[in-house]
Structure 1
Amino acid sequence: MSSADICQACGACCAHYRVSFYWGESDAHPGGSVPQRLTIPITPYRSAMRGTERTPVRCVALDGEVGQHVGCTIYPQRSSTCREFTAGTPECDKARGAYGLAPLAELVAA
C-alpha cells in the first residue's frame, strides 16, 4: 500500500494539527497557490487553513471521513506544511492515535 493510499484512507493529520504557513503562499501573492479564501491570518506573517485555527480541528479543504476515505480538495495547491508532512512519522502516528487508528508501522507489518 503506497503512502498516498494510506493517506487517502486516513486524513487524521488534517483534523488534528493547525496547518500554518507563510502568508505569501496564498494565491493573493505572486507565486502563491493556496486559495486565500480558505485561509485565516494568525500572525502578521503566518496564515492557517480555516478550521485548523480552532478546536475541534478540521481543515476546510478536507473532504470525507477521517479513518475511512478522505481527500484534499486543493491538493495541487496545498501549502508547504502539507507537502512536507510525512506519513509514518511520530507526528503522523500521534494524529492517527487521536482518532483510534493504529500507527502506520503496525498497519504496514500486518
Structure 2
Amino acid sequence: MPHSVHPCLTCGACCASFRVDFAVEEMQEMGGTVPGGLAVEVTRTTCRMRGTDHVPARCAALTGKIGEKAACGIYEWRPSPCREFEAGDDACHRARLRHGLPPLAEGLIF
C-alpha cells in the first residue's frame, strides 16, 4: 500500500483564514513554546500570531503555497488554537472553501 501524504501538507487554508489568539504564557519568553518574533501582544494576557489579523490573513509561520504544498514553520512549537484545530471539521471546510479547495473526503483524515 503506498504511503499517502496527510491532507494538511497540501492545504494550509486554516493558516490563511483565521485569527490566532492565545495566552501570553504560550510565548517562549514566558516559558511556552511559541517563538517571540512570530506573535504580537494584543492585551496583557493575549498574543496573536503575526499575519492572522491581516486581510487577507496569512500566518507568519505558514510556509509554501496554499492548496499545493504548505507547512507550519513552527509546527512543534505552535500555539494551542493550532494544536486544537481539527482537519475535516466545519472550520476546516470553511477555510478550504475560502481558498477554492473542496472539503476533505471522509477517510482522508488521519
Q: TM-score if structure 2 supplies the norm length?
A: 0.89
Q: Encode CA deviations 1:53-102: one digit per residue, 9 max, x unaligned.
A: 22110000000000000111111100111100000000000000000100
Aligned to 2:6, the other structure's residue is in SS state helix
Q: CA–CA distance in 2 between the matches of 1:25 and 1:69? A: 27
CA RMSD of aligned residues (A): 1.8
Pair 1:107–1:9, CA change in 2 (3 A): farther
Q: What stretches of structure 1 move > 4 A for 4+ residues in a row? A: none
Unpaired runs of at least 5, structure 1? none
Separation in 1 of the partners of 2:25 and 2:104?
A: 33
Deviations 1:17-66 (A, max 9, x none): 01111111000112x00001110112221111100022110000000000
Identity among equivalent positions (%) equals: 45
Name the aligned partner's letter for residue 24 of structure 2: W
Q: Does 1:59 align with 2:59?
A: yes
Give the number of the structure whose residues are more often helix, by fraction. 1
Q: Which residue of 2 aligns with 1:96?
A: 96
